Amino acid sequence: MTGLDRESVRARLAEFDRRVVDVGEVADSRPAAVAITIVEHDGRHGIWLTKRPASMRAHAAQFALPGGRLDPGEDEPTAALRELHEEIGIRLAPDDVIGMLDDYPTRSGYVITPVVCWADVDQTPRPNPAEVAELFFVDTDELMAEPRFHSIPESERPVIQLPIVGSLVHAPTAAVIYQFAEVVLRGRHTRVDGYEQPVFAWR
């Protein structure tokens, strides 16, 4: 499925039995959400991906989907939409949320919920330079890239990498994007919680 339409994507996400992680059962973790936003750009569908500034205190210069921790009283879709607007200037409505993928616990103390959104209106992104060094539009053809896996002595789980945007994107972002490609683009109910993050992302 490389030519996307909103209802087909919604249907695939509705068929997916997503796994929810209880934050209270993961030591020293906090809830967070990221926005996987499907948008049409120059006749192609794809999603937005950011690279964080090198000056940031946490996860500097790493690739990331727009997102962050939940504020008090927020649910995951509300947090994802807020972060999408704060980071890249895209404002979507609650009705633009069309599904969610598996929660992914990170080594840095978060349980990330991927929130899939559909942007019907072609808005021009306005990245916040305090949070975004570069903004990438990754089309569906590129999202179909096969992941790479390698082992590290610190973990028995394989580290997942995605060769996209002229670089290697690592987990947790790589794991979330890979599951999106599997569930939405390929129609496969693939789990990604068995994939590891590189050691530099553990902090």
Mean pLDDT along residues 28-55: 93
Residue 49: the pLDDT is: 98
**What is the percent of the chain where pLDDT is above 90?**
85
Q: What's the pLDDT score for residue 54?
A: 79
Examine the pLDDT at 195 and tell me if it is beyond 70. Answer: yes
Range of the domain at 13: 6-143
In a domain, 199, yes or no: no
Let me know if residue 190 belongs to a domain.
no
198 assigned to some structural domain: no
Higher pLDDT, 157 or 61: 157
* Residue 181 near residue 114 (C-beta atoms within 8 A): no
Does residue 45 have a pLDDT over 60?
yes
Angstrom distances, CA of residue 77 to CA of 95, 146, 186, 194: 10, 28, 24, 24
Q: What is the largest CA-CA distance in the chain?
A: 46
pLDDT at 59: 67
The fraction of the chain above a pLDDT of 70, given in percent, is 96
So what's the pLDDT on residue 24? Answer: 83
Looking at residue 196, the DSSP 8-state letter turns out to be B
Q: Which residues contact 2 (CB under 8 A, 6 or more apart)?
A: 45, 140, 141, 144, 185
Mean residue pLDDT of the chain comes to: 94
Identify whether 158 is part of a domain.
no
Query: Which of 173, 203, 169 lies closest to 36 in space, CA to CA?
Result: 173
CA pair distance 26, 74, nearest whole angstrom:
19
Which CATH number belongs to the domain containing residue 26 in this structure? 3.90.79.10
What pairs with residue 155 in β-bridges? 152
What is residue 203's predicted lDDT score, i.e. its pLDDT?
A: 76
- 161 within some domain: no
| Count of domains forming the chain | 1
Residue 188 inside a domain? The answer is no
Phi, psi of 108 (to 5 degrees): -95, 10
Per residue in 94-146, pLDDT tens? 999 999 999 999 999 999 999 999 998 778 999 999 999 999 999 999 999 99
List pLDDT tens digits, range 164-194: 999 999 999 999 999 999 999 999 999 999 9
Per-residue pLDDT reduced to its tens digit, 59-74: 667 999 999 999 999 9
